[in-house]
Amino acid sequence: MTSTIAHHPYGPSKLENYDPRSRGCYAFIPDPQSNEKAEFGTLKHTALSTRDLSVLGGDTKAEEEVSRLVEFIDSFRDAYPTIHSELLLKSDKIFGTLDHLGLDQTGRRGIIIDAKFGAWNVTPARNNLQGWAYVLLAFLNFPTLNRIKVIFYAAKTGLHTEHTFWRYRLPNLEKRIYKIIDRAGEVSEAPQEKDFTPDAVNCSFCLRLNCPARLALMGTLVTQWTGKPVALPRLNLLEVSTPQLSSLKKLSNVFKTFASAVDNEAKRRAFDEGDIVDGYEIAEKSGTRTVVGAEQITAASKVLAANWDAQNFGAVDWGKYVLENVELSIADLEKEIGKLAPQGKATLAKKIIVNALEKARLVNANRIFYLQAIKE
C-alpha cells in the first residue's frame, strides 16, 4: 500500500475541478506541466513524511511550515497511535495518497490529516471532495473503521478545518464521487454543451479550447477588434487553416498584453493604495536565493567545503563547482557598459566588448526562435 504510482486522472485533489456543484466543469482539462512551486511543495511533503528538513535546502520558512505541521500531527499521536504516512489506497475506480492516517488502538476510529502548503484557501472539510475521497478509500481499505476525522491543515497560516465522517455515509460518498469520475471520463471523449460550466477560477487552470463559453468570449473580442461579425462554434487548432491561425496569432499578444495590464493595475492598487480587488489577498513567497559578489561567492565556497568535509560526505571540489556556476549576464553587462561609456560611445563600446568576448569564445548562448510580427 505504500508504493508510489502516477496520479489518478480524476484523483482526490482534482475532483472539485470536475464537479459542477463545486464550481468545477466535467469538460475540464488540467495543465500537465509542473512548476517550481509545485516541485517545492513536493519537497515539503517529502520532508514531512520523512521528518528530514535537510531536503528543503535550508529554506527557513519552509522548515517552519513543515515543523509546525509535524508538531500538529504529533499532538494526535496518543489518541491515534497507529501511524501511516504517505499511504497509497485504492478502490475499483480511484486511488490516492494520504499524507497521514492515524488509527486508535481499537481500529474503529481514525484521523486523516492533509497538509496544504499552497496559498489558496481550502474548501471546508465538511464539503471538501478531496477529503470525501480519502474517507471513502479509508473506509473501503480498513473495514473496522467506523468514524474518521478529516483535517486540512494550512501550513502557511497554522489554521485548519475539520469534520468527522461516519461509515453510514459511505454509500452516499461513493455515489457522489464515482458519478463525477464516470461523467468526467465520458465527457473527455465527446463533451456536450451542457457539460461546460464556466467559472473564472477553474477556467484559469483549464487548457480546453473548444469550450462554448471561451469561444463565445473570443468571438466577441475578435468581432470588436476587426469590426466584422465572427462566430467560433468550435475550435480545433489541429484543423484550423493557416490563414485563420494567422488571424488568431496576431491577436494573441493583444490579449496577453491586456491581461498583463489588468494584473499590474490590480497589484498597484493593492500595494500602493491598499485597495485589494475582491477575491484576492496579498501573499508572500520566497524569492530566488542567490549569493552575489566575488567576495561573497569565495566565502560561500569555503563555507560549503568546510561543512561538507565536516560531515565526511566524501571528496568534492566545491570551489570548482561554485566557479563553474557563476554566470555573467551579457545583457546586464551591456547595460553597465551603457552607463559607464563616454557620451555618444555606448553603442560602439558594447559592440567592441561583446564582439571581443564572442571572439574569445567566452559567450555561451542558445539560439531561440520565435514568431515576430511584420510591420505593415
Distance CA 15, CA 211 (A): 19
Q: What is the pLDDT of residues 199-254, one digit of tens each?
A: 888 988 898 888 888 888 878 877 887 787 777 767 777 777 888 788 778 778 77
Furthest CA-CA distance within the chain:
84
The CATH number of the structural domain formed by 12-189 is: 3.90.320
Distance CA 122, CA 153 (A): 9
In the prediction, which pLDDT does 56 show?
81
Task: Give ranges for CATH 3.90.320 in the chain.
Answer: 12-189
Q: Which residues in 183-202 are b (16+ Cβ under 10 Å) and which e?
A: bbeebbeebeeebbbbbeeb
At position 127, the amino acid (one-letter code) is N
User: Residue 153: which of 84, 82, 74 has the closest Cα?
Assistant: 74
Which of 43-57, 64-78, 183-197 has the highest mean predicted lDDT (pLDDT)? 64-78
Q: Strand, coil or helix: what is 199? A: coil
For the chain, give the mean pLDDT. 85
Q: Would you list the DSSP string of 263-285?
A: HHHHHHIIIII--PPTT------
Q: What is the pLDDT of residues 244-268, one digit of tens each?
A: 788 778 778 778 887 888 888 998 9
Confidence of residue 374 (pLDDT cuts 50, 70, 90): low
Q: Do residues 154 and 116 touch, judged by C-beta distance below 8 A?
A: yes
Q: What is the pLDDT of residues 292-344, one digit of tens each?
A: 777 887 888 888 888 778 877 778 787 777 777 777 778 888 888 888 888 77
Q: Supply the pTM of this predicted model.
A: 0.69
